[in-house]
Amino acid sequence: MMIDSPQPVRKRPTIRVLFLAALMAAACADAPVEPGARSLLEECTPQDDPADALCGTVKVFEDRESAQGRMIDLKVVVFPAFRRDPQPDPLFVLVGGPGQGAAQVTERLMTVFKGVQETRDVVFVDQRGTGDSNLLECEFDEEDLVALSQVKFPVDRLKECLAGYDADPRFYTTPIAMDDLDQVRAELGYDQINLWGGSYGTRAALVYLRRHGDSVRGIVLDGVAPPGMRLPLTFPSDGQRAFDLMLKGCEDDAACNERFPEIRPRFDRFWDRLNEKPRDVVLEDPRTGEAEDVTLRRELVGGLLMGALY
């Protein structure tokens, strides 16, 4: 039930090398197995990268506790270490969201982790429900300016998505996904791993550490979102604080204050006008170049500002 593919983690050796390896294995029966050597992956080209990665899938039960019924495939991408004698503990990369597929952002992130790849494997796994691991996606018209100006959140659309998934959403939680990750670790043949988590990935890493601590050698948390933080309850207050600090920064900077005098009272008057009456304006869509009629409401402008500050 494990990884579907025809080749081992390391590059395929020649017949001569395989013969020599067989002789050495016979002479050293107790020699340790190289990390990852038991797994079966194939060469691949993730995104637009060179074909220097290895890809495969790991089958897991959707309902891990019962260990029966539907199984789903988890997408796995491994960038093997450059050294002939790599460190035995790879780096597993946990990304944000929740909802981002780790294997889909390898092109961007491997520019950061090339140094790590010098000495150890770097592993990306699409968490269940993301990327190529039984994706649970709900699309909105976020690219449409008119739709963007409709402030009310489309709850009905979310309900439609939830009812239409080929999945049982009860089993797409962080603890279950981290148990998946530990299964991937075991099937790739790694005894211990290092974790790097960014944003939501920091929370996932902490959950993995709590559930599978013996398998963790080290952990790096970038932009911590601990389990006790009840997101997004603090978004409004955090957004207001960031906005106030931006205004104060402009007031305290001579050049900014000269270019935007009285920036705080001007914004106050702007908010008051939007509260009294939303304003209908014509904006040019930056993607299509077409003019669109958009209603400016305080909630819309505040949301756009918060997104930029975030």
Domain shared by 268 and 203, yes or no? no
**Which range marks the domain in which residue 268 is found?**
235-309
- 206 and 292 belong to one structural domain: no
pLDDT band, very low/low/confident/very high, at 1 (cuts 50, 70, 90): very low
Contact (CB, 8 A) for 263 and 244: no
- Residue 164 in any domain: the answer is no
Q: Same structural domain for residues 303 and 189?
A: no
Does residue 1 sit within a domain? no
208 and 94 co-located in one domain: yes
Averaged pLDDT of the chain: 84
Pair (43, 127) in one structural domain? yes
The answer to whether the CB of 5 falls within 8 A of the CB of 77 is no
291 and 189 in a common domain? no
pTM, full prediction: 0.76
What's residue 170's pLDDT? Answer: 95
- Verify that 182 and 262 share a domain, yes or no: no
**What pLDDT shows up at residue 46?**
62
pLDDT tens track for 84-136: 999 999 999 999 988 999 998 998 899 999 999 999 999 999 999 999 999 99
Position 148 in a domain: no
Span 171-183, pLDDT tens digits: 999 999 999 999 9
Shared-domain flag, residues 117 and 242 = no
Confidence (pLDDT) at 5: 39
Task: Tell me, yes or no, whether 192 and 127 share the same domain.
Answer: yes
Residues 93, 212: one domain? yes
Domain count, the chain: 2
CATH of the domain at 86: 3.40.50.1820
The proportion of the chain whose per-residue pLDDT surpasses 90, expressed as a percent, equals 59
